[in-house]
Amino acid sequence: MLAVLSIAVTLVALALVVTLKSVHRIGPAQVGLVIKKLGMRNLENDNPIAFLGEAGYQADLLMPGLRFKLWPVFSVSRFPWVQVPAGEIAVVIAQVGEPLPVGAKSAEYRTEFEHFSDLPSFLAHGGQKGVQRPVLPPGTLLPIHPVAFLIVTSRDVYGLPVSPEMASLAGDGELTPESFGLTPEQLEVVVIAPEGDGDVVGVVTTLEGAPLDKGDIASRLGGFGDIVALESDPEVSDAELIDTLLGSKNDLHNNYQDFQAFLDAGGRIGLQHDPLLYGAYLLNRTSCG
Q: What is the pLDDT of residue 216?
A: 84
Segment 182-191, tens digit of pLDDT: 999 999 999 9
Q: What is the pLDDT of residue 26?
A: 93
SS3 content of the chain, % helix, strand, coil (to 5): 25, 25, 50
pLDDT greater than 70 at residue 75: yes
Segment 96-108, tens digit of pLDDT: 999 999 889 999 9
With H, G, I as helix, E, B as strand and everything else as coil, classify residue 103.
coil
Helices (H) and strands (E) in the chain, counts: 6, 16
Task: Give this prediction's pTM.
Answer: 0.89
Comparing 29 with 7, which gets the higher pLDDT? 29
CA-CA distances (angstroms) from residue 102 to 52, 106, 113, 260? 30, 11, 22, 17
Segment 201-235, tens digit of pLDDT: 999 999 999 999 888 888 888 887 767 676 677 77
| Separation of alpha carbons 219 and 142, rounded Å | 36
With H, G, I as helix, E, B as strand and everything else as coil, classify residue 119.
helix
Q: What is the pLDDT of residue 171?
A: 72
Q: How many CA atoms lie within 13 A of 96 on its CB side?
A: 26
What percent of the chain is predicted at pLDDT more than 90? 60
Annotated domain spans of the chain: 18-79, 82-182, 190-281
Q: Are 76 and 91 in contact (CB under 8 A)?
A: no
Q: What is the pLDDT of residue 203?
A: 94
Comparing 202 with 2, which gets the higher pLDDT? 202
Query: How does DSSP classify residue 111?
Result: G
| Separation of alpha carbons 149 and 132, rounded Å | 10
For the residues 141-155, what does the mean pLDDT come to?
96
